[in-house]
Amino acid sequence: MRTIFAVLMLTVFVSFSAAQPQQLNLMPMPASVQMKTGQLVIDASFSVGVGGRSDARLQHVVELFLDSLRRQTGMPPLDMKVTDAAQARLVVHGERANKAAQELGEDESYALDVSPGGAKLDAATPLGIMRGLQTFLQLVQTTPDGFAVPALAIQDKPRFPWRGLMIDVGRHFIPLDVVKRNLDGMAAVKLNVFHWHLSDNQGFRVESKKFPKLQRMGSDGLYYTQDEVRDLIAYAWDRGIRVVPEFDMPGHSTAWFVGYPELASGPGPYQIERKWGIFDPAMDPTQERTYRFLDGFVGEMAKLFPDQYFHIGGDEVNGKQWDTNPNIQTFMRAHGLKNNQDLQAYFNTRVQKIVSKHGKTMVGWDEILRPELPKDIVVQSWRGQDSLAAAAKQGYRGLLSFGYYIDLMWPAARHYAVEPLSGAAANLSPEEKQRILGGEACMWSEYVSPENIDSRIWPRTAAIAERLWSAQDVTDVNSMYQRLQKISQWLDWLGLTHNSSYEAMLRRIAGSSDISALRTFADVVEPVKDYTREEIAAVEATSLSPLNRVIDAARPESATARRFANLVDALLAGRADPEAKPEIKAWLTRWRDNQMSLQPLENQSFLLKEIIPVSQDLSAVANTGLQALDYFDRGERAPEAWAAQEFALLEQAQKPKAQLLLMATPPVQKLVEASSGKKAPPPQK
Amino acid sequence: MRTIFAVLMLTVFVSFSAAQPQQLNLMPMPASVQMKTGQLVIDASFSVGVGGRSDARLQHVVELFLDSLRRQTGMPPLDMKVTDAAQARLVVHGERANKAAQELGEDESYALDVSPGGAKLDAATPLGIMRGLQTFLQLVQTTPDGFAVPALAIQDKPRFPWRGLMIDVGRHFIPLDVVKRNLDGMAAVKLNVFHWHLSDNQGFRVESKKFPKLQRMGSDGLYYTQDEVRDLIAYAWDRGIRVVPEFDMPGHSTAWFVGYPELASGPGPYQIERKWGIFDPAMDPTQERTYRFLDGFVGEMAKLFPDQYFHIGGDEVNGKQWDTNPNIQTFMRAHGLKNNQDLQAYFNTRVQKIVSKHGKTMVGWDEILRPELPKDIVVQSWRGQDSLAAAAKQGYRGLLSFGYYIDLMWPAARHYAVEPLSGAAANLSPEEKQRILGGEACMWSEYVSPENIDSRIWPRTAAIAERLWSAQDVTDVNSMYQRLQKISQWLDWLGLTHNSSYEAMLRRIAGSSDISALRTFADVVEPVKDYTREEIAAVEATSLSPLNRVIDAARPESATARRFANLVDALLAGRADPEAKPEIKAWLTRWRDNQMSLQPLENQSFLLKEIIPVSQDLSAVANTGLQALDYFDRGERAPEAWAAQEFALLEQAQKPKAQLLLMATPPVQKLVEASSGKKAPPPQK
């Protein structure tokens, strides 16, 4: 009786928006968290037992969990065993097995109850167990009394059933081990679909035994064997991740035509494309041999990839080869196809039948959506929620990728704010809303290599994962960033290199082991956003361009700049703590003086030269900020002439140089505006 | 004619002891380097061609080289091709193939000639090509004009033919991928023997198909399959590294007896040993079944491992099981074996015949050396050069490992100073000297895990590699350290984690991403040396002990402390530059104040608690140093009473706490001595 009473007394109920759970390093935030008192210590004697139904898969899941836990805590493999459920410190209990191939919409819910004496994880399926174990790993902290998980009760389940990451391995080949560590990252933030963009103009990346010229002539030797594909699928399965292959057609397909020019709508021969962009080559939708080929190919791939869904791309056909091919024009007239959209729809209808014949459900980008297609297809939208809503109204299921293009170098907060059920989608009926399956972060790979891809995916993708898993009202950006920073370092345990490769790249750029000045600089710049990199490139980038410049090392989002901007905002809003102003000054002083350290290195490395003007800007901008603070300190209003001059300087500094954005500039502009009482003029084109 | 003249004018001949080659990031230092003028730029168009004899192995060697070069420079896999020798920027030319299995003493010499227009690498064998390509990689620098290799001519060959690294995977299992990355490190510094210590009391690590209970019962499931062994051997072969297996017998063999207790000299049953030390169990040398087993086992392993040499261990038999087994005592009397050494010699003679029967040459530790054994065996000496010399005089070949035990946490300079041909070995005849084959760095693994093993091996093993490769008179410690620091960071490109795991471990210890104070602390401590860790342990360590403490993260040698000590030495010798004193003061101030930042973290992490007293010592020691400097600055002699008090403080601080040594203490003691004119009293026991 005393025990029960004590437990009741110690249990503190809080809603998940209360401060405490937000301070846990959890991402995505669970549906419900109740904090309790005390903690479960995790030491060498920690053990896991499987209660209820067990099978080889669940055993393996538990082993993988213990591997992760040991790595995180530095325990040897002899510690922390799997034991009988009766003795175990953590008991996992799954009710039933999952299907042989993971399916869309399988139950991923779990309940995790942690007390000082032990923990229980209950789920309907091994998938739910996996999700719960990842939560458990995130909860492990270093405490004064050892590693420990706080006592709490979590009830959790995902909001959307399709939470994906697409990696484009066509434009730059990404080796299998790099893909694998990113699957570990996905599992850690409860993403459940790996969308493998396997072919594009720049490369065809899977071995076909039926059509071996695809990889032999279309990949530069950079492709996955079928054994490797099976290995990757098994790896994903162990982590509760579906693998959806994409073979983009009828456009984005130059690499197919190198070996099989007869598939194309224009005369060959073809070469693997080295440039980036949208290109003319497209499959010939008017030839039966095209469909015979695709029947054979899709049949082969449908066997290789067990997932129910099969992505056929379908995006960005510019139609030029169709326009200039008289046979195709004749065919269109004969079949009443008014334009290229009609022709592509005809193609899609034929391909859909092939995909369906081989037992799969077709997925494609926005462009495939035409009423001719059956309602079971899935549309992946790069156009936005309104497009998604229109599809849902017509009865089609959809995925959002608009707003989740992580190659565009947006800050995490911008992706985080993209809500699948907003815009027109907010007004859908409940039944229509069900058709919005979720979304996918998209890692297009024009500017990624095995060295920097992790830093383009992580940690920002964790914010997208939270958007797709957590409740719609989990929108606190400050909380998100606080947790994101911690999760980012926690992801290091998985072998992801988003943090570690940064310094290695800076050392290469500096040609020196002393990177302090370069790091100070690189910490406060960001790559240009959207497609500006292409637009302002002095030399057109290709797949042969080295990705070893500062823009390739710089993080998509500067944590330093965010902190600095927040400090300035707080200062100007009068809500800064007393340490804010000295810290602002310290940053500005450091930036102003950094150029003195960086300038001499210019003669040391060709990779440094391009940033010297940006570093000079940083110095000047920081100097402006310090002057503005001086006016504050003296209680003077800054003279108008001074402000005008500084606004001109800031406008220049705002312009991308070396394809970099100087992120210190906007907050300094605010300082100048506040000190002078003048608004900066709108930027000149 | 003009061209030839120009080349002659531009060629500057320098000996390898001149400043310029020493400034190259080369380790080991080549036998001869001639600097020339200009450099060969390495850009995307760089290419390699094989001139002369070519085969699949050489092609693969060149591909591996290009992979490394691309990783180092950040070039995509489509850049930098293998081409015809006629067009290639680097032409490699090997005269003949190597043997199918790499042999001791094969030609590793090479000549590398780099000019602004191209480079030539000539060698007798693919092994020489491999060594030359590693030199080329080390020479690639970031310059104002791109990546480049300075124009030069190198003639190089190793001093010793056997340059090894031993890794003990018995005490702690080391996964295959960790071994592989360390083989990459070995190849980078031209080591050519991987000595794989595969069995010990704590584990038997190779699959035997003949005697499967060896791995099933003796490994905790932590062993290499035969396929994995073959994979590792192929990996080593691609890098010019021989793989010599060691199965330690008749002692160090508890793990064998778990499955096969009949091999032991005492009654079973046996359990896998969890503790460290020397234990009683030993094979029974008096039973024929022992030799039948070993015949089967060695026969199986001799087929698995292609190398000519087979290591049978033979060290540290305490003889207790033999002393207490009446049958063994009877046998000894019957065979005139006077003591356990005689009995072990009998065993070794029998085992040598088995090893020889299976076509292999036996290697063993010092203890095996007895005149009964044939002259073709190789003795690996942990006892020293005199022992080695004695063996050589008797006609035995030997390897030095005394002085190369990298688990003892010595500074690189101490290993570097260990010369195989010193002591009695210096006085050997040229023929006898030939019998000293080289040496091996030994990574005994009581305190290493996959997480920290790289930091125990690297970069210090590169200094040992230089001792074994370079000329005997390459002994400049400052040059060694300068190059070692650069090589250490260059090794990061191979995926070695000696640098990257440091911060991850500190973050775990801190339980926080802010590790600045912990890092300041950890940068200036070292693990205790030799076997002190065992001797002063509060709780006996076992194979179950987590290796996640500060001692496990701290580097064997503190670069910060070395720098600080050098600054103090220069200051006291009156040869310091003007910036030395401010830097000394800055370090001391930082250390004095660090405790204020570190103390609050004590309540955050159980792993931090033990270092708080050491951090307090650091603060006090730094304060003492600052006071000593004050006396200098005021031109006063420090009072005797003050000095006496500070000496007492320093003596306390000198004592290991948390099994750590505070490396700031000895230089501060010198400051106190110099400021007071008094010598510190000898330390009390």
pLDDT digits (tens, 9 = 90+) for B423-465: 999 999 999 999 999 999 999 999 999 999 999 999 999 999 9
Q: Does the distance separating the beta carbons of B79 and A513 come in below 8 Å? A: no
Pair of tokens at residue A344: 């592509």
Q: What is the largest CA-CA distance in chain A?
A: 89
Q: Over the stretch A233-248, which tens digit does the pLDDT of each residue have?
A: 999 999 999 999 999 9
CB of B357 less than 8 A from some CB of A: no
Beta bridge partners of B381: B400
Residue A90 CA to residue A116 CA, distance in Å, equals 11
> Would you say residue A18 has pLDDT above 80?
no
Provide the pLDDT for residue A9.
Answer: 35
Residue B562 CA to residue B546 CA, distance in Å, equals 29
List all residues 6 or more positions away from B561 whose beta carbon is below 8 Å from its beta carbon.
B524, B526, B663, B664, B667
Mean pLDDT score across all residues of chain B: 94
CB of B508 less than 8 A from some CB of A: yes
DSSP secondary structure letters along B175-205: -HHHHHHHHHHHHHTT--EEEEEEEETTEE-
Q: Is A494 left (phi over 0), alpha (psi -120 to 50) or beta?
A: alpha
Pair of tokens at residue A449: 């290599």
Question: Taking CB atoms and an 8 Å cut-off, how many pairs form between chains A and B?
Answer: 125
State the number of CA atoms in the 13 A half-sphere of B257 facing the CB.
Answer: 29
Residue A515 CA to residue B657 CA, distance in Å, equals 33
Q: Does the distance separating the beta carbons of B510 and A73 come in below 8 Å? A: no
pLDDT tier at A20 (50, 70, 90 boundaries)? low
> Would you say residue A558 has pLDDT above 50?
yes
Among B376, B442, B355, smallest CA distance to B407 is for B442
- The amino acid at A61: V
SS3 A102: coil
CB of A483 less than 8 A from some CB of B: no
Among A658, A665, A663, A381, smallest CA distance to A532 is for A658
Task: Judge if the upstream peptide bond of residue B582 is cis by omega within 30 degrees of 0.
Answer: no
How far off is chain A from B583, nearest CA to CA, in Å? 17
Contact A400, A385 (CB under 8 A): yes
CB of A71 less than 8 A from some CB of B: yes
Mean pLDDT score across all residues of chain A: 94
> Would you say residue A595 has pLDDT above 80?
yes
Q: Over the stretch B549-592, which tens digit does the pLDDT of each residue have?
A: 999 999 999 999 999 999 999 999 998 889 999 999 999 999 99
Asked about B63 being catalytic, the answer comes back as no
Beta bridge partners of B379: B364, B398
Q: Does the distance separating the beta carbons of B79 and A546 come in below 8 Å? A: yes
Residue A14 CA to residue B445 CA, distance in Å, equals 48
Provide the pLDDT for residue A6.
Answer: 36
pLDDT tier at A53 (50, 70, 90 boundaries)? confident
Residue A359 CA to residue A624 CA, distance in Å, equals 65
Residue B357 CA to residue B376 CA, distance in Å, equals 14
Q: Does the distance separating the beta carbons of A492 and B77 come in below 8 Å? A: no
Q: Which residue has the higher pLDDT, B4 or A133?
A: A133
Report the C-alpha dihedral over residues A510, B504, A461, A465, rounded to 10 degrees.
180
Contact B397, B425 (CB under 8 A): no
Please calculate the CA angle B475-B479-B481 and round it to the nearest 5 degrees: 100
> Would you say residue B2 has pLDDT above 60?
no
Q: Does the distance separating the beta carbons of B142 and A74 come in below 8 Å? A: no
List A103, A316, A534, A610, catalytic entry: A316
The helix or strand, by DSSP H or E, that contains position A242, with its residue range, turns out to be strand A242-249
Nearest by CB: B74 against A141, A492, A508: A508
List B106, B228, B316, B602, catalytic entry: B316
Nearest by CB: A78 against B220, B485, B604: B220
Kindly list the distances between the CA atom of residue A614 and the CA atoms of A222, A526, A555, B352, in Å, as whole numbers in the listed order: 37, 12, 16, 70
Contact B435, B392 (CB under 8 A): yes
Among A378, A376, A417, A419, smallest CA distance to A399 is for A378
Portion of chain B with pLDDT greater than 90, in percent: 91
Task: State the residue for tokens 């390739």.
Answer: A552
The helix or strand, by DSSP H or E, that contains position B155, with its residue range, turns out to be strand B146-156
Q: Over the stretch B335-394, which tens digit does the pLDDT of each residue have?
A: 999 999 999 999 999 999 999 999 999 999 998 999 989 999 999 999 999 999 999 999
Among A570, A40, A484, smallest CA distance to B513 is for A484
Among A209, A228, A206, smallest CA distance to A219 is for A206
DSSP A542: B
How far off is chain B from A659, nearest CA to CA, in Å? 18
> Would you say residue B643 has pLDDT above 50?
yes
Contact A10, A85 (CB under 8 A): no
Provide the pLDDT for residue B98.
Answer: 79
Provide the pLDDT for residue A685.
Answer: 60
Among B199, B182, B198, smallest CA distance to B236 is for B182
Residue in chain B lying closest to A220 (CA): B78
How far off is chain B from A639, nearest CA to CA, in Å? 40
How far off is chain A from B13, nearest CA to CA, in Å? 25
Stated pTM of the model: 0.94
Where helices occur in B39-119 by DSSP H, the ranges are 56-73
Nearest by CB: A143 against B449, B552, B606: B606
Residue A248 CA to residue B624 CA, distance in Å, equals 70
Chain A residues in contact with B220 (beta carbon < 8 A): 77-78
State the number of CA atoms in the 13 A half-sphere of A541 facing the CB.
Answer: 25
Contact B525, B562 (CB under 8 A): no
CB of B600 less than 8 A from some CB of A: no
Residue A89 CA to residue A190 CA, distance in Å, equals 24
Q: Does the distance separating the beta carbons of B605 and A142 come in below 8 Å? A: yes
Nearest 5°: phi and psi at A402?
A: -55, 130
DSSP B311: E
Residue in chain A lying closest to B553 (CA): A74
Residue in chain B lying closest to A43 (CA): B546
Q: Does the distance separating the beta carbons of B548 and A144 come in below 8 Å? A: no
Q: Which residue has the higher pLDDT, B98 or A570?
A: A570
Among B489, B491, B399, smallest CA distance to B441 is for B399
DSSP secondary structure letters along A287-317: -HHHHHHHHHHHHHHHHH--SSEEEEE----
Nearest by CB: A173 against B77, B143, B507: B77
Task: List the single best residue of B69, B142, B496, B502 to mutate versus A (max A Cβ within 10 A).
Answer: B142
Residue A88 CA to residue A250 CA, distance in Å, equals 55
Residue A10 CA to residue B261 CA, distance in Å, equals 54
DSSP A139: H
Nearest by CB: A485 against B146, B513, B548: B513
Q: Over the stretch A155-207, which tens digit does the pLDDT of each residue have?
A: 999 999 999 999 999 999 999 999 999 999 999 999 999 999 999 999 999 99
Residue B635 CA to residue B546 CA, distance in Å, equals 51
CB of A548 less than 8 A from some CB of B: yes
Nearest by CB: A44 against B141, B500, B544: B544
What would the 3-class secondary structure string for A508-539 be?
HHHCCCCCHHHHHHHCCEEECCCCHHHHCCCC
Where helices occur in A190-287 by DSSP H, the ranges are 213-218, 226-238, 254-259
pLDDT tier at A98 (50, 70, 90 boundaries)? confident
CB of A23 less than 8 A from some CB of B: no
Task: Judge if the upstream peptide bond of residue B144 is cis by omega within 30 degrees of 0.
Answer: no
Mean pLDDT in residue range B261-266:
98
Chain B residues in contact with A142 (beta carbon < 8 A): 508-512, 604-607
CB of A220 less than 8 A from some CB of B: yes
Chain B residues in contact with A141 (beta carbon < 8 A): 511
Q: Does the distance separating the beta carbons of B605 and A76 come in below 8 Å? A: no
Mean pLDDT in residue range B65-79:
96
CB of A145 less than 8 A from some CB of B: yes
Residue in chain A lying closest to B140 (CA): A511
Q: Does the distance separating the beta carbons of A142 and B509 come in below 8 Å? A: yes
Burial of residue B216, with CB atoms counted within 10 A of its CB: 0-12 exposed, 13-18 middle, 19 or more buried: middle
Chain A residues in contact with B74 (beta carbon < 8 A): 449, 451, 505, 508, 546-548, 552
Nearest by CB: A44 against B76, B546, B603: B546
Q: Which residue has the higher pLDDT, B235 or A599?
A: B235
Task: State the residue for tokens 């962009």.
Answer: A277
Residue A106 CA to residue A183 CA, distance in Å, equals 19
Q: Does the distance separating the beta carbons of B73 and A606 come in below 8 Å? A: no
Nearest by CB: A220 against B78, B485, B544: B78
Residue in chain B lying closest to A488 (CA): B513
How far off is chain A from B502, nearest CA to CA, in Å? 11
